[in-house]
Structure 1
Amino acid sequence: MLNLVDLSRTDLNLLVLFEAVLEERHVGHAAERLNLTSSAVSHGLSRLRRLMNDPLFLRTPKGVVPTARALELSAPIADVLARVRNVLSAAEPFDPASSTRRFTIGAPDGISAVLLAPVLGELARTAPGIDISIRQLLPTPGETRPERAWRGAFADLDDRVTDIAVIPTGQIPERFHVGGLYDEDFVVAMRAGHAFADEPTLARYCELQHLVVSLGGDPHGFVDEALARLGCTRRVALTVPNFMFALAILAETDLLCALPRRFAAMHAARFGLESVDAPLELTRFRINAVLPKVALMDAGVAWLLVILEKAQPPLPPAGRSSATI
């Protein structure tokens, strides 16, 4: 990216400035993050533009947007900075017991709600100064190809918005490291005492009304695909944007909802819900922790990956479960 002559004459802090503006999409916000003035950041961008022979960032009423050249440079620059940071951090190795870093994990709430409690328990025991941010992830509405459905998660990783994404797919681009966490399937959840629990047949399942978790409001999901293969349909009476919201709605209605088995086992009882095995074969999902391969050079991120790999709860047994059993 830089030849030897350029490197000898260039302040590598300009790459840090590039990174901040790319992530913030705003000169003023990048300046605050770097403890610089906006004019200093603008001056640095001018130097970068001359160096790269490209505008890099274009002004908009809400901030700046990167050019195609800036997006091309983002991964190589992130790689360079990660390597430099790793070299510098070698003088002071990452120590979870004394670290005060904040890590960001991206995941659907049906996954984060399963992993978060054991992760926080481990942090309390071994890393009391470390903080965690959870970024909600859901697949892109209308996308059936996994590598496209989760492209937002991959973009967040590339842009370093998240440190690790935990998503239910094995279709991961080659530039990422993949750590398998657990396999997940789905159960049918409903309020305690619902008649479907005593007659969980396919015919009855199709007759009743359903709730679907969908960020964009699309009522058609993988359950409908499975039903279509059997020549069946169902009525989706309601969609909600996340699984925790679904629990509250199920408690007050006669709706049915397909929920991840571990998620239902951990959280359904507090809402007075019960669950049964689905009366049809549903897709099983592999839950994977995903991060850029270069991020493994960061000892803190590598440590977090190990914590996630240890956090998975045991798979609850198949069959009927409820708050009263």
Structure 2
Amino acid sequence: MLKLVDLSRTDLNLLVLFEVVLDERHVGRAADRLKLSPSAVSHGLGRLRRLLNDPLFLKTPKGVVPTARAVELSAPIAELLARVRSVISTAEPFDPASSARRFTIGAPDGVSAVFLPPLLDELRRTAPSIDLGVRQLLPVPGETSPERAWRNAFTDLEDRAMDIAVVPSDHIPARFHSRGLYEEDFVVAMRAGHPFAVDPTPERYCEMQHLVVSLTGDPHGFVDEALAKQGYSRRVALTVPNFMFALAAIAETDLISALPRRFVAIHAAHFGVVTVEAPLPLPRFRLNAVAPKVAMMDTGLAWLFGILGKGAAVRIEAG
């Protein structure tokens, strides 16, 4: 016969402690976030381990790592806490003006550089005590399938490693809520006075030395796929790990690079970089904000999701 658990003897705050330790992977940081002492967090973990009959978190030189059981429990605990928060929020509505919550948004760096300025401006005006963390998202190395390239972002959302992801993909699993923020295409960026700007033909494009943004250093990208379809190839002379580094590099060299149009429009002037239209068709991407549907029951998260979309729309209209 199934043994019923006496919830009256169970401190549900332990589940919140579990969530924060899982997110931070560090007892000290979890203690700071919970406004507890490290010893109180350690004591709570001891109670939680006895309750769930598993070590849950194992010590490492850099913090703690979850056990297989903790990973297995992460999704149902996150769902349970989201439902509890939703119930509580109906009694005490989320107020951005007084809230001191912290949210984490994940996005590729060329994307966060577009939506972050208007979002920060909106937070400054309407929610001055809310803090943000921004994580850089990267596609799975070597993965060419759009359905699977951003699968790690969906896993991190369900693991509560972040609250919202912004990904350049329309392949969103049904268990997630999504909203289109804007569409992005690519232009060719270079230093002011670069000779390519005078005659930007496909042939001259292929004669240039190119820079590609690639965290892994892999020089092959979607531009090479587009070139190959028309019988062209190019030389990639340099790869760099992010888009800001790309702007700094092309500003001081004869390298050229295909970069996101909206990102360049916002930041190119700071580097003295100019752009021309690509001399061949390049892919367009829709940027979608994504969060688990169950997490959207959290009125605070739903509010942030809404102003994220509003801020992106304002930025695009202004641009």
Calculate the TM-score normalised by the size of structure 2: 0.89
**Change over 3 Å in CA distance of 1:211–1:3 after alignment to 2:** farther
Structure 2 match to 1:276: 276
Structure 2 match to 1:322: none
Give the Cα–Cα distance (whole angstroms) in 2 for the partners of residues 3 and 19 of structure 1: 26
Give the C-alpha shift of residue 37 in structure 1.
4.7
**Change over 3 Å in CA distance of 1:196–1:315 after alignment to 2:** farther
Greater Cα shift, 271-280 or 26-35: 26-35
Which of 290, 311, 314 pairs up with 2:316?
A: 314
Give the Cα–Cα distance (whole angstroms) in 2 for the partners of residues 205 and 315 of structure 1: 31
Structure 2 match to 1:120: 120
**Change over 3 Å in CA distance of 1:132–1:63 after alignment to 2:** closer
Amino acid at match of 2:178: V
**Change over 3 Å in CA distance of 1:93–1:277 after alignment to 2:** same
Give the C-alpha shift of residue 3 in structure 1.
7.2
Give the Cα–Cα distance (whole angstroms) in 2 for the partners of residues 59 and 260 of structure 1: 42
Amino acid at match of 2:118: P
Structure 2 match to 1:180: 180
Give the C-alpha shift of residue 132 in structure 1.
2.7
Structure 1 spans left out of the alignment, 5+ residues: 318-325
**Change over 3 Å in CA distance of 1:3–1:25 after alignment to 2:** farther
Q: Is 1:14 matched with 2:10?
A: no
Deviations 1:68-110 (A, max 9, x none): 2221110110111111122223332112233333322211121
Structure 2 match to 1:249: 249
Contact 1:262 1:315 in 2 (8 A): no
Contact 2:182 2:316 in 1 (8 A): no
Give the Cα–Cα distance (whole angstroms) in 1 for the partners of residues 82 and 149 of structure 2: 28
Give the Cα–Cα distance (whole angstroms) in 2 for the partners of residues 123 and 316 of structure 1: 18
**Change over 3 Å in CA distance of 1:95–1:27 after alignment to 2:** closer
Task: Report the count of equivalent residues.
Answer: 316
Deviations 1:128-174 (A, max 9, x none): 33333322222233222334432332233223232211111122233
Structure 2 match to 1:218: 218
Give the Cα–Cα distance (whole angstroms) in 2 for the partners of residues 251 and 43 of structure 1: 54
Structure 2 match to 1:133: 133
Give the C-alpha shift of residue 297 in structure 1.
1.3
SS in 1 for 2:170: coil
Amino acid at match of 1:141: P
Amino acid at match of 1:246: A
Greater Cα shift, 183-192 or 57-66: 57-66
Give the Cα–Cα distance (whole angstroms) in 2 for the partners of residues 3 and 74 of structure 1: 23
Give the Cα–Cα distance (whole angstroms) in 2 for the partners of residues 316 and 40 of structure 1: 49
SS in 2 for 1:5: coil
Q: Is 1:298 matched with 2:298?
A: yes
Structure 2 match to 1:321: none
Structure 2 match to 1:63: 63
Structure 2 spans left out of the alignment, 5+ residues: none
Contact 1:265 1:316 in 2 (8 A): no
Identity within the alignment, %: 74
Greater Cα shift, 112-121 or 216-225: 112-121
Give the Cα–Cα distance (whole angstroms) in 2 for the partners of residues 152 and 272 of structure 1: 35
Contact 2:169 2:287 in 1 (8 A): yes
Give the Cα–Cα distance (whole angstroms) in 2 for the partners of residues 112 and 62 of structure 1: 28
Alpha-carbon RMSD: 2.4
Amino acid at match of 2:316: P
Q: Is 1:205 matched with 2:211?
A: no
SS in 2 for 1:59: strand
Give the Cα–Cα distance (whole angstroms) in 2 for the partners of residues 40 and 296 of structure 1: 30
Greater Cα shift, 109-118 or 90-99: 90-99
Greater Cα shift, 95-104 or 244-253: 95-104
Deviations 1:195-232 (A, max 9, x none): 11121111111111001111222211111111122222
